[in-house]
């Protein structure tokens, strides 16, 4: 069913609600009354329609919840979606339900089940990894594979910290390693915070630069294949699965990661020392007034022209190819 533009928000109109931090309630014209609840802070969007007293049907979807709620003295059916990176698709899903209720005379349950059949695939994959996170996880895993061969599976998995806030990707007794992966022809890497390239006390910090390029199935590996290779090499260590889950990996999404990748070049490492172009809190303190007012920043650094260094074990095996 095509949406009536007079009944529903345009993409730009919806964006105004999505980029406003305050929750909003938008009435959808028609009978019975239907309204949209947009809550950008919680990344949640919901459709409400008057509750008729019948049992609320079960809805077996991971990122959608159907329940009865009471607001302003009125009881409603409420179907809410944690939309993650798909707010517009989620809105279309809820708009379709509203059309079925108001224009086709369907009950809330009938309309919901009909729309679910159409949109289930979108909902099922609403939290699969973005392409940027896929590339990042691919790089961390192939670095992990090399570390396992240089040390042990247990030691390497325990050293993998990249999924945790304010931690470097890998922390070994020999030093910490930030693993950065790009598919560009130059070694341009995004640094996500002012702390990411700040060394820990008494622990040298290294940036490991990986360049990937798309490949054929015969010459490359998909992210799912690298995950399976890591599991084999780690002898299905349950700690690896815990780390993968914290990094956002879910087996149910593996079929969506279809692109094979291979190394574009041999990985290299750079020592994060005083001459490395890093934007850190000490650097800001030296270079501007009121540095305490700069809360955080992300930036892109191009290390293509820098001279690489020989990193300590276990990274040295990785950079030797």
For the chain, what percent of residues have pLDDT higher than 70? 93
* CA dihedral over 167, 275, 138, 156, signed as positive or negative: negative
Q: Is the pLDDT of residue 49 over 50?
A: yes
pLDDT in tens, 78-104: 999 988 877 888 888 898 899 999 988
Is pLDDT larger for residue 59 or for residue 43? 43
- Give mean pLDDT, residues 268-285: 93
For the chain, what percent of residues have pLDDT higher than 90? 54
* 134 Cβ contact list (under 8 Å, min separation 6): 223, 257
Residue 2 pLDDT: 39
Residue 209 pLDDT: 98
Q: ∠219-232-226 over CA atoms, to 5°?
A: 35
Match 């956002």 to its residue by tokens: 248
In order of 47, 143, 229, the CA distances from 265 in angstroms are 50, 14, 21
User: How far is 75 from 64, CA to CA, in rounded Å?
Assistant: 19
Domain boundaries, the chain: 11-124, 131-319
Backbone φ, ψ for residue 286 (5° rounding): -80, -25
- Give mean pLDDT, residues 198-213: 94
Is pLDDT larger for residue 255 or for residue 85? 255
């Amino acid at each position: 069913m095509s949406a009536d533009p007079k009944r529903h928000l345009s993409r730009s109109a919806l964006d105004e609600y999505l980029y406003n931090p305050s929750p909003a309630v938008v009435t959808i014209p028609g009978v019975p009354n239907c309204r949209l609840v947009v809550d950008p802070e919680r990344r949640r969007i919901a459709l409400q329609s008057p509750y008729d007293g019948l049992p609320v049907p079960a809805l077996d979807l991971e990122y959608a919840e159907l329940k009865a709620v009471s607001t302003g003295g009125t009881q409603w059916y409420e179907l809410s979606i944690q939309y993650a990176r798909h707010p517009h698709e989620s809105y279309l899903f809820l708009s379709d339900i509203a059309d079925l209720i108001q224009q086709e005379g369907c009950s809330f349950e009938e309309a919901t089940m009909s729309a679910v059949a159409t949109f289930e695939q979108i909902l099922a994959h609403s939290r699969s990894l973005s392409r940027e996170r896929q590339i990042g996880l691919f790089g961390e895993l192939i670095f992990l594979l090399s570390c396992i061969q240089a040390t042990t599976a247990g030691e390497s998995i325990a050293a993998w910290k990249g999924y945790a806030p304010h931690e470097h990707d890998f922390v070994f007794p020999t030093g910490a390693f930030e693993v950065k992966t790009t598919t560009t022809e130059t070694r341009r890497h995004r640094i996500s915070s002012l702390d990411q390239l700040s060394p820990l006390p008494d622990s040298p910090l290294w940036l490991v630069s990986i360049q990937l390029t798309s490949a054929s199935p015969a010459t490359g590996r998909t992210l799912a294949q690298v995950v399976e290779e890591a599991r084999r090499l780690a002898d299905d260590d349950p700690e690896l699965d815990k780390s993968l889950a914290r990094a956002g990996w879910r087996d149910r999404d593996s079929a969506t990661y279809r692109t094979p990748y291979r190394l574009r070049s041999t990985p290299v490492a750079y020592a994060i020392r005083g001459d490395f172009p890093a934007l850190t809190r000490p650097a800001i303190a030296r270079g501007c007034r009121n540095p305490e007012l700069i809360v955080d920043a992300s930036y892109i650094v191009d290390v293509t022209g820098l001279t690489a260094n020989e990193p300590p074990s276990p990274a040295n095996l990785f950079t030797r190819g």
